[in-house]
């Protein structure tokens, strides 16, 4: 299974939706980085992505963006390819 990292925070509905979408694709493990509990990790997220909002999702080392980008990849059929390679 692919290594998936998701920068997330508590009470983030888009984070929950991203997790559900990934779970529906058979993803069983997501390494969650809680930027609300570790503020220095938010700085790391911004440095890696150029974005300040969560979720920010990486599949292997590829930044796929937030929930909307993840959903778009799914709609295009690209998410299955990324998770299956």
9: confidence class by pLDDT, cuts 50, 70, 90: very high
Cα 9 from Cα 19, distance rounded (Å) = 12
DSSP state of 37: T
Count of domains observed in the chain: 1
DSSP state of 56: E
CATH number, domain containing residue 50: 3.40.30.10
Specify which residues 65 forms β-bridges with: 57
Boundaries of domain holding 14:
4-84
pTM of the model: 0.94
Tens digit of each residue's pLDDT (9 = 90 or more) over 58-75? 999 999 999 999 999 999
State whether residue 33 is helix, strand or coil: strand
Tens digit of each residue's pLDDT (9 = 90 or more) over 15-42? 999 999 999 999 999 999 999 999 999 9
Report the chain's C-alpha Rg in angstroms.
12
């Amino acid at each position: 299974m692919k290594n998936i990292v998701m920068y997330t925070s508590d009470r983030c509905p888009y984070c929950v939706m991203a997790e559900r979408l990934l779970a529906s694709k058979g993803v069983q493990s997501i390494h969650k980085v809680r930027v609300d509990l570790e503020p220095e990790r938010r700085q790391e997220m911004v440095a890696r992505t150029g974005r300040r909002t969560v979720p920010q999702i990486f599949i292997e080392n590829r930044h796929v963006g937030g929930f909307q980008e993840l959903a778009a990849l799914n709609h295009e059929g690209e998410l299955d390819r990324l998770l299956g390679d």
